[in-house]
Amino acid sequence: MPARPQRVGDQIRAELSTLLLRSVRDPALRLITLTHVQLSLDLRHARVYYTAPIDASKVETKRGLRRAGPFLRGQLGRRVRLRHVPELTFVYDDSFEREQRIAQVLEELHMNAPPVEGNGDNGDDGDPSTD
């Protein structure tokens, strides 16, 4: 990704995080975490990726973000100096859940794996300097 869209995306993520924490009245939206913002090359469209606590309803969170979108975009226009304030699209980021599931599967495989038989080598190579 070119440097400018990435820099602007990081700035937008920081501003939106602050707005969600301090200015949005929906308490469920205060608990979400914005993971990253992906901007189009012309900076007119922004995909805002977020995660929510496990106990939060994904449907309610998405609905709340959709309702707060125009307010957030307006506030963003006042805080970030851009010719055009990007259209915000909120996308649930499930990468954390996928990482947890992969770790769980690997742990299960490790627990169910038969013990590895040694080849008679106790790890002592006879070098007294490594003792």
Q: What's the rounded Cα separation, in Å, for the pair 71 and 126?
A: 71
- At 100, which CATH number? 3.30.300.20
Q: Which domain holds residue 63?
A: 3-111
Mean pLDDT over 2-31 rounds to 89
Q: How many domains does one find in the chain?
A: 1
Mean pLDDT over 32-45 rounds to 93
Q: What is the pLDDT of residues 81-112, one digit of tens each?
A: 888 899 999 999 887 777 778 888 888 777 77
pLDDT of amino acid 45: 95
Would the pTM of this model clear 0.85, i.e. be above it? no
pLDDT of amino acid 14: 95
Checking if the pLDDT of 16 tops 90, the result is yes
Total Cβ atoms within 10 A of residue 64? 22
Task: Tell whether 46 is covered by a domain.
Answer: yes
